[in-house]
């Protein structure tokens, strides 16, 4: 497993700190920020995380208050498949069926213990391929 990159805005700062601490027990984790509770703009964190995930061909985790803002922004990038996951089933299915490479989490709505379990499932599940490969290829062609 390559390095895991993690970033959040201020609204999920505390939860990101706790999650990074937990993931470091198993994975090599690069915490890109934010590094304090001051207000920041989530698109800046998305851009930084995507640059790192692309360079290392790795997986990433993004957090904001709801997880919705970061998931919208990350999917702007053609080779990023960012899945907003609220439970372990979401994490499993988004890897199995959508080949998601960025996990988006809600710092405000998802309890920290569940954030850890969702992340563990996401990082340990492989893409299933098959009929889902066609669908991933199809939506890789979408955009503009």
Catalytic residues: 64, 97
Name which of 21 and 133 has its Cβ closer to its own copies: 133
Report the residue from 23, 46, 53, 105 that binds its own copies according to the rule CB under 8 A: 46
Residue 73: half-sphere exposure toward Cβ, Cα within 13 Å = 20
34 Rama sector, left if φ>0, alpha if ψ -120 to 50, beta otherwise? beta
Integer Cα distance of 10 and 117 in angstroms = 22
Name which of 3 and 47 has its Cβ closer to its own copies: 47
Residue 131: half-sphere exposure toward Cβ, Cα within 13 Å = 0
Judged by CB under 8 A, does residue 83 bind its own copies? Answer: yes
Closest residue by Cα to residue 9 from 56, 73, 58, 52: 73
Q: Shortest distance, CB of residue 127 to its own copies, whole angstroms?
A: 13
The site for its own copies, by CB under 8 A, has a size of: 39
Binding site for its own copies (CB under 8 A): 41-44, 46-47, 65-66, 68-69, 71-73, 75-78, 81-86, 89-90, 93-94, 97-98, 100, 109, 134-135, 138-139, 141-144
């Amino acid at each position: 497993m390559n390095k895991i990159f993690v970033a959040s805005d201020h609204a999920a700062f505390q939860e990101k700190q706790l999650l990074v601490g937990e993931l470091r027990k198993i994975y090599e984790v690069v915490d890109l920020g934010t590094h304090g509770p001051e207000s920041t703009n989530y698109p800046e964190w998305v851009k930084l995380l995507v640059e790192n995930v692309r360079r290392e061909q790795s997986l990433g985790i993004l957090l904001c208050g709801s997880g919705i803002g970061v998931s919208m922004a990350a999917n702007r990038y053609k080779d990023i498949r960012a899945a907003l996951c609220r439970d372990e089933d979401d994490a499993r299915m988004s890897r199995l069926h959508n080949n998601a490479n960025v996990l988006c989490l809600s710092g405000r709505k998802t309890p920290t213990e569940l954030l850890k379990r969702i992340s563990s499932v996401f990082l340990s599940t492989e893409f299933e391929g098959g009929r889902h490969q066609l669908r991933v290829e199809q939506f890789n062609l979408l955009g503009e």
